[in-house]
């Protein structure tokens, strides 16, 4: 059972606790029943006061369930290991780090809540609406339907920005470059991804914790991306250095 020492006049009413945490009264009562919050101190027949630190405690419980997908039983165990308020604050900091990591994870396709319509994406990139629709049909960008119309999230916006950057330096229709030619990158990356996943899942490892596997995958993605860029620059340099010989070989 959770206990917290509270000085006279220090407590807050359940209405204030609900207001500051965004949970319902029923949720507060449920947390008390499950031993996640201390019993309020009754000051009269119809009034009880909660310890002010219950605010941080409720926010932590709420965050652990929403962001870390932990059950109430798991949350209770964590709180039992951090009974003091400093322990609760430490867990809050850890939760914020986890939430930030998830938001910025390369495995999270919707790292931002910002989505753009076809028209908005066209305006942003200075492509025509028809260009954006062509990118979509080719699979270079993939939208989500909202109210029956496609919208594009951060990853797709980044792809469109990259295509716009290429167009800015002359890789555009006026110079004979077509959007369909960019599909070679999509196909090559898709094939590479399938091979990577096969290798990653084919490793003999003891049963891993799902969160540890996620962290390992994220770290691998970041480092493999750097490796890919470095290898590409290396191959380009070798191709340039061997230019005349390479062209002569192609003619043969």
| Same-domain pairing of 54 and 85 | yes
Q: How confident is the model at residue 91 (pLDDT cuts 50, 70, 90)?
A: low
State whether 40 and 26 are in the same domain: yes
Region 3-24 average pLDDT: 80
Give the phi and the psi of residue 13 in degrees, each rounded to 5.
-75, 160
For residue 81, being part of any structural domain is answered with yes
pLDDT at position 68 = 60
Residue 207 lies in a domain: no
The answer on 92 and 59 residing in a single domain is yes
In a domain, 78, yes or no: yes
Instruction: Please give the average per-residue pLDDT across 74-101, as a whole number.
Output: 62
C-alpha distances out from residue 47 to 12, 14, 44, 50, 159, Å: 10, 9, 5, 10, 58
Say if residue 85 is in the same domain as residue 114.
Answer: no
Residue 3: per-residue pLDDT: 54
- pLDDT level of residue 244 (50, 70, 90 thresholds): low
Q: What is the number of structural domains in the chain?
A: 2
Q: Which of these three, 58, 73, 103, is where a domain ends?
A: 103
Contacts of 131 (CB under 8 A, 6+ apart): 122, 179
Residues 88 and 126 in one domain: no
Question: Which of 1, 4, 7 has the alpha carbon at shortest distance from 85?
Answer: 4
Same-domain check for residues 98 and 143: no
Identify the pLDDT of residue 161: 92
Is residue 96 very low, low, confident or very high in pLDDT (cuts 50, 70, 90)? Answer: low
pLDDT band at 205 (very low <50, low <70, confident <90, very high): low
| 153 and 80 assigned to the same domain | no
pLDDT, tens digit (0-9, with 9 covering 90-100), for 55-70: 888 888 887 777 666 6
pTM for this model (two decimals): 0.51
- The reply to whether 165 and 99 lie within a common domain is no
Whether residue 43 is contained in a domain is answered as: yes
Burial of residue 64, with CB atoms counted within 10 A of its CB: 0-12 exposed, 13-18 middle, 19 or more buried: buried
CATH number at residue 41: 1.10.1660.10
Asked if residue 224 belongs to a domain, the reply is no
- Last residue of some domain: 103, 129, 152? 103
Same-domain pairing of 41 and 71? yes
Q: What is the mean pLDDT of residues 103-127?
A: 74
For residues 94 and 113, membership in a common domain is answered with no
The tokens of 85 are what?
Answer: 């308020």
The reply to whether 89 and 24 lie within a common domain is yes
Q: What would the pLDDT profile of 138-161 be if each residue is shown by its tens digit?
A: 999 998 888 888 899 888 998 999
Buried b / exposed e along 69-84 (16+ C-beta atoms within 10 A): ebeeeebbebbeebee
Do 121 and 89 share a structural domain? no
Domain boundary among 146, 167, 182: 182
Give the pLDDT score at 82.
Answer: 59
Residue 79 in domain? yes
Residue 98 in domain: yes
Task: Report if residue 167 sits inside a domain.
Answer: yes
The domain of 144 spans 109-182
Strand-pair partners of 117: 151
């Amino acid at each position: 059972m959770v206990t917290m020492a509270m000085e006279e006049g220090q407590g807050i009413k359940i209405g204030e606790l609900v207001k500051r945490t965004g949970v319902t009264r029923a949720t507060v009562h449920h947390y008390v029943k499950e031993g996640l919050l201390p019993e309020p101190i009754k000051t009269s027949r119809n009034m009880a006061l909660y310890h002010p630190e219950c605010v941080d405690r409720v926010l932590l419980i709420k965050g652990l369930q929403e962001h870390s997908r932990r059950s109430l039983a798991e949350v209770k165990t964590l709180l039992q290991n951090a009974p003091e308020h400093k322990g609760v604050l430490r867990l809050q900091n850890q939760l914020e780090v986890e939430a930030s990591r998830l938001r910025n994870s390369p495995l999270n396709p919707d790292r931002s809540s910002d989505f753009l319509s076809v028209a908005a994406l066209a305006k942003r990139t200075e492509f025509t609406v028809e260009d954006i629709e062509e990118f979509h049909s080719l699979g270079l960008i993939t939208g989500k339907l909202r109210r029956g119309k496609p919208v594009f999230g951060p990853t797709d916006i980044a792809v469109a920005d990259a295509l716009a950057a290429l167009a800015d330096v002359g890789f555009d229709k006026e110079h004979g470059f077509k959007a369909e030619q960019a599909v070679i990158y999509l196909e090559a990356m898709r094939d590479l991804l399938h091979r990577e996943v096969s290798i990653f899942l084919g490793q003999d490892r003891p049963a891993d914790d799902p969160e540890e596997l996620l962290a390992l995958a994220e770290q691998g993605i970041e480092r493999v991306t750097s490796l890919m860029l470095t290898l590409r620059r290396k191959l380009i340099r070798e191709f340039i250095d061997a230019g005349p010989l390479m062209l002569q070989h192609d003619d043969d």
